[in-house]
A and B are shown apart, each in its own frame.
Chain A
Amino acid sequence: KNQVEQSPQSLIILEGKNCTLQCNYTVSPFSNLRWYKQDTGRGPVSLTIMTFSENTKSNGRYTATLDADTKQSSLHITASQLSDSASYICVVSDVNSGYSTLTFGKGTMLLVSP
């Protein structure tokens, strides 16, 4: 069964500090991995997408890494801002017979404190 595990479940950091969120997956066959940011009461917004051959992808202060061998990904947030307070969800896609399905992690809730 495909699974995506995220850690930590929640995290509090001071404004301006860096943090790293983790995602481990057992999804096969692997197609791609996305990190989403979801503000409270809103829908998720895609931050990065990585395929098997990519091991780093940046989007401003967000940098995602992928190790396809160990099936791990991380999302690093640099110089955090109050607006980074949100849930971060790791989503892994598989593809069978040309059709992709998504497996969602339960998310990491990040609170950036002033």
Chain B
Amino acid sequence: KAGVTQTPRYLIKTRGQQVTLSCSPISGHRSVSWYQQTPGQGLQFLFEYFSETQRNKGNFPGRFSGRQFSNSRSEMNVSTLELGDSALYLCASSLWAGRSDYGYTFGSGTRLTVV
């Protein structure tokens, strides 16, 4: 079965612009989580969506937002980009929200570079 698909794989944006990233979960999975990964901080949790509702949120500014559609696909948006937003953005899908025993399957990520 198809894995978690993230698009685009690479993005270059200018400071002040906004960007939208997309994540299609494994078929049947209803939870999508988003993470930011940088060399210095490792993986940091952004938010988790389940049934089109945000179920949990990490400690990121309001410039970072997301949504989930009825088919479980999710998008995250970053507005007013800053150089520090350059990172690998990963999404992970799971059958259920907040159930680590079900496991999380990660996509390959979107590499965002802000110049």
Cβ B43 vs Cβ A100 within 8 A: no
Contact status A104-B56, CB under 8 Å: no
User: What is the number of contacts between chain A and chain B, taking CB atoms within 8 Å?
Assistant: 55
New A-B contacts (14) at CB < 8 Å, excluding given A32-B101, A101-B45: A31-B101, A41-B88, A41-B108, A41-B109, A43-B90, A43-B92, A43-B108, A43-B109, A44-B106, A51-B101, A99-B97, A101-B56, A104-B43, A106-B42
Q: Tell me the nearest residue of chain B to A105, going by C-beta.
A: B42
Is B98 within 8 A of A100, CB to CB?
yes
A89-B42, A101-B45 known; A45+B100 contact, CB < 8 A: no
Docked complex Cα distance between A105 and B44 (Å): 10
Decide: A101 near B98, CB < 8 A? Known: A89-B42, A106-B42: yes
From residue A95, how far is it (CB to closest CB) to chain B in Å? Answer: 7
With A and B bound together, what is the CA distance between A45 and B106 in angstroms? 7
Bound form: Cα–Cα A51–B101 in Å: 9
**Across-interface contacts of B99 in A (CB, < 8 A):** 100
**Shortest distance between the CB of B74 and any CB in chain A (Å):** 15
